Structure 1
Amino acid sequence: MHFTIFTDCNAIRATALKKDLHPRVARWWVKLQDYDFTIEYRPGSKMAYVDYLSRNPLDKVCTKSDRFCQEVLNTPDDYNEYQIKNDLVMTKGQDPKCFVPVAARLQAMCLYHDKSSHIGWEKYIAKMREELFWPRMGQSLKKYIRNCRQCVLGKSHTGRRAGLWQRGERPSSALDVWHIDHAGPLVKSHGCTQLLVVIDGFSKYCSLRPIRKKSTEDTIRALSLVFEQMGKPRRIIADRAAAFTSLTFQNFLADQEVQLHHIATGMPRGNGQVERLMRTVFNLLRASLTAENEKNWDIHQMFCASLLTQD
């Protein structure tokens, strides 16, 4: 008698088409040649009823003792969206879902997660929601997988990783360490589109200098004016922008006998003092500038600097 086998294991179907098989697999396949059958592949999402047979059935005693199940069993007219099937509360529709009582939820989560090789929480939640339901189900599933001991100890974690805390060197006096960065682009104001932000690490004294663009020449010109006004620091900390990593800029600071330190790429918190200052500067500019005078921000930035440092 000819029959058809539906399976979600595509490797079995591929075995029937291979010419060269591993000897052990070939012996298994020879034993099946006495039967007249064909193999067809079907995705696992369309064979949920087969997966259900490999799982333990829910305890009917737990279902009958659950308060929600008792309400549905006793007053079915008040719960039209549910139906009673084999003493189980299920939703109506083409794809009915089974209600899981409180006493059986831990067992159900264990079967779907622990017995499925500890799959990720997105697949785990999606798979359970295809067949089961209960109130605030997503919160319960996330809490369970967050506290799964095997997942916590055995899986490698992806995404952002917490870096090791390192306490930076504290400046001992003014003109010891400066933090610099560019802020912009801004609306063109008298030919300027950027701000060179300079802050002293010890006194928190800052200076804002409008520049035309983030070029090495404009940066050196603005920084020279800051040197004339405030003096020269021992060291300057900057990010790896092209203007700060250029050989011309490095030679300029070397001639001024100023050390240059670049922070790591993609780590703006390494220059956190100036990053925090720029947020304050932008807030002040947004609050003080309007559509009529937004093209005069290079004048208003002096007002912002006076509020910040009495510059």
Structure 2
Amino acid sequence: MNFLAANIIPKGLTNQQKKRFFNDVKNYFWDDPFLFRRCADQVIRRCVTRSETSKILEHCHSGPTGGHYSGTKTAHKILELGFYWPSLFKDTNRYVTSCDKYQRTCNISKHDQMPQNYMLSCEIFDVWGIDFTGLFPNLFGNKYILVAIDYMSKWMEAQALPTNDARVVVRFLKKLFSRFGTPRAIISDRGTHFCNT
């Protein structure tokens, strides 16, 4: 900073250290009052002071948008925000290992997780749910309503019927199949009007 702001070279450097110093200075530039660095990914990030690092670490690891992630993930989050300091990864790992909440949750293995069941992928009008509602007061000779709902689109078909036997279910399903095609599955309560020869 002193070299970029006032052209002052640090004293007591060997020739090798001076070469390295002038090589590293190419990546830094001073824009009053901040020091910026062009990182290896060609993104310009603001260099922060030691006093600012603790607040940045706290915000990126355990703040509202933090999530108590690992040291590497937290360091990448800091870099994405546009901050840099030379010991970034070392400080981040030290901060994360001292975080109590992270230490309690970081060692979850496959053994601790709930078993995952694969979801059956289905298309529209592939799976229908069917059921009777009723007995309603007699209205135009109809006492029951047969309802079929597509599980994917929530499309509903309903018909008022005089009885709740297997014959009316077959007639209803023939109409349904002719309009929407034969489904992969029909889910019912397995009553005698659905499970019947």
**Bigger helix share:** 1
Identify whether the pair has TM-score above 0.5, normalized to the shorter chain: no
What TM-score results when the alignment is normalised by the length of structure 2? 0.39
**Bigger strand share:** 2
What TM-score results when the alignment is normalised by the length of structure 1? 0.26
Q: Which has the higher contact order (CA 8 A, sep 6+)?
A: 2
